[in-house]
Amino acid sequence: RLAVKAEEWEDRVDTVCRSLLGLTVACARCHDHKYDPITSADYYSLASVFASTEMFNRPLRSEGVELKGEQAKNPTDAMHVVRESKPTDLRVFLRGNVESPGPESHRGFLQVLSPGERVEFSQGSGRLELANVIVSHANPLTARVFVNRVWAKLIGAPLVSSPSNFGSQGEPPSHPELLDDLAARFMAEGWSLKWLVREIVNSATYRQSSTASSEAVRVDPGNRLLSHMHRKRLSVEVWRDRLLAASGSLDDAIGGESIDPCDLNNRRRTVYAFVSRFELNPLLVTFDFPDANVHASRRTRTTTPIQALLLLNHPFVMEQAKRCASIATTDCPTCTSGDLNGTIKAVRLLYQHLYDREPSDTELSVGLQFLATDDPSDNEQMRRQWTEYAQALIVANETQFID
């Protein structure tokens, strides 16, 4: 039982410290950190906070007494509850072995980030005190880590290429003065995410084209100096939402239960997708959705044959292609009877819906050739052609990348 709990505490310490502080504190569970000034006592001081916190599921509706076994194992109508447990100061487990307790370590913060003596917690579990010290202006890391993550999301590459490791083994920032300046002003603006996003998207860096000059390719092939915009690949969640919006079927309602993103009847934003820690959704995982069991510093980006096969055959993609084709043929009904002007108008409409632009002359010519038919009276054949054409536009790079 204690060994299982120790694994839970490590998971929480690791997630909190890597995501918010950019430090690999969990490495100090068995011994002092080999590279950073983090001791085992530091680790167990943080673990004591989570050991003093009780977590459980509680049904939202408690009408009557439920018999054991009648409720689902993971009911959708339940909420995760955190409450104060008995304050606990763990002993340092020597070499990480729960059977070898060492000296007691009081609930507190990391010594290296504490001004003077280690900041210790005394109010209940210490969760509130931990949250306050993490976002304290005296803490030099949290704002930098957060700014770095937002920068990476908007620009396409982080200033620190190891977003969850700002320690001695992490990568140094490519633009340290810029990171420090944004972090300082971010805190001065009351940690306003809206301000930070506005500051970045209004910059000349964000407004650059992703087309690199020959000189930029020669001098800075990795674009570390930000001579041009990084080409950004959309996450699978944004890509799915983009297709739903283009086909006119996106349900943008706020709140509610989790959904299955592969269910054709579920058209809500993918942020509401149900994520199981034991079995990831195949659509999401095919496009690099991270493992839900561990902290992911950044998403991998892969291009595989399985992704291409999914785009050509998945029912979700086929359904959105049908809907996009239906929009074009409904607004331009003469396109299904072989009328050239109607076909041109419908092709332009598809480009506007999917790419937010007009087709080039070459793209328009290719589209007209693809949609040409010897028998315009065959309505079924025309519908298939328009669906296939819409799907060809959907699976193109332009729906998955931002240039």
- Measured from the Cβ of residue 91, the count of other Cβ atoms closer than 10 Å reads 14
Question: What is the percent of the chain where pLDDT is above 90?
Answer: 50
Q: What angle do CA 91, 94, 98 make, to 5 degrees?
A: 65
> What is the rounded average pLDDT of the residues 345-357?
93
Give me the long-range contacts of 292-298 (CB less than 8 A, separation at least 24).
294/11, 294/14, 295/14, 295/15, 295/18, 295/19, 295/164, 297/18, 297/162, 297/163, 297/164, 297/165, 298/152, 298/158, 298/163
> What is the rounded average pLDDT of the residues 64-92?
57
Q: What is the rounded CA–CA span in Å between residue 88 and residue 85?
A: 8
> Which of 27-31, 80-84, 173-177 is modeled with the greatest confidence?
173-177
Contact 335, 346 (CB under 8 A): yes
Pick from 133, 81, 125: nearest CA to 107:
125
The yes-or-no verdict on residue 117 having pLDDT over 70 is yes
pLDDT of amino acid 124? 81
> Could you read off the pLDDT of 39-68 as tens digits, one per residue?
899 989 998 888 888 765 555 454 444 444
Contact 271, 237 (CB under 8 A): yes
pLDDT of amino acid 315? 93
User: What is the pLDDT confidence band of residue 85, given thresholds at 50, 70 and 90?
Assistant: low
Q: Residue 139's Cα: distance from chain center in Å? A: 25
Q: What angle do CA 179, 184, 185 make, to 5 degrees?
A: 100
Supply the mean pLDDT for the chain: 87
| Cα 251 to Cα 179, 255, 264, 265, 352, distances in angstroms | 37, 11, 12, 11, 20
> Could you read off the pLDDT of 354-391 as tens digits, one per residue?
999 999 999 999 999 998 876 777 778 888 999 999 99
Q: Encode burial over 218-236: b for 16+ CB neighbours within 10 A, e otherwise.
A: eeeeebeebebbeebbebb
The yes-or-no verdict on residue 283 having pLDDT over 70 is yes
Report the chain's C-alpha Rg in angstroms: 27
**Looking at per-residue confidence, does 186 or 276 come out higher?**
186
Q: What are the domain boundaries of the chain?
A: 2-58+72-134, 142-219, 231-403
pLDDT of amino acid 321? 95
pLDDT of amino acid 57? 53
Region label for 402, one of left (φ > 0), alpha (ψ between -120 and 50) or beta (otherwise): beta
The tokens describing 165, both together, are 């490791």
Helix (H), strand (E) at residue 152: helix 142-155
The secondary structure of residue 79, as a DSSP letter, is: E
Contact 154, 197 (CB under 8 A): yes
The yes-or-no verdict on residue 206 having pLDDT over 80 is yes
Q: What is the rounded CA–CA span in Å between residue 237 and residue 289?
A: 9
> Could you read off the pLDDT of 124-171 as tens digits, one per residue?
888 899 999 999 998 889 999 999 999 999 999 999 999 999 998 999
**Looking at per-residue confidence, does 186 or 87 come out higher?**
186
Cα torsion 162, 165, 169, 173: sign: positive
User: What is the pLDDT confidence band of residue 189, given thresholds at 50, 70 and 90?
Assistant: very high
**Looking at per-residue confidence, does 103 or 321 come out higher?**
321
Region label for 248, one of left (φ > 0), alpha (ψ between -120 and 50) or beta (otherwise): left
The yes-or-no verdict on residue 273 having pLDDT over 50 is yes
> What is the rounded average pLDDT of the residues 242-248?
93
Q: What is the rounded CA–CA span in Å between residue 152 and residue 378?
A: 50
pLDDT of amino acid 64? 43
pLDDT of amino acid 400? 92
Helices (H), 230-338: 236-246, 282-286, 305-313, 315-331
Q: What is the rounded CA–CA span in Å between residue 72 and residue 5?
A: 24
pLDDT of amino acid 197? 98
pTM: 0.84
pLDDT of amino acid 56? 58
pLDDT of amino acid 332? 83
The yes-or-no verdict on residue 344 having pLDDT over 80 is yes
> Could you read off the pLDDT of 291-337 as tens digits, one per residue?
888 888 888 899 999 999 999 999 999 999 999 999 998 888 877 76
pLDDT of amino acid 79? 47
The tokens describing 42, both together, are 């530091």
Pick from 235, 289, 240, 210: nearest CA to 394:
240
**Looking at per-residue confidence, does 56 or 30 come out higher?**
30
> What is the rounded average pLDDT of the residues 20-32?
91
**Range with the poorest average pLDDT among 75-89, 175-189, 301-315, 324-338:** 75-89
Contact 50, 26 (CB under 8 A): no
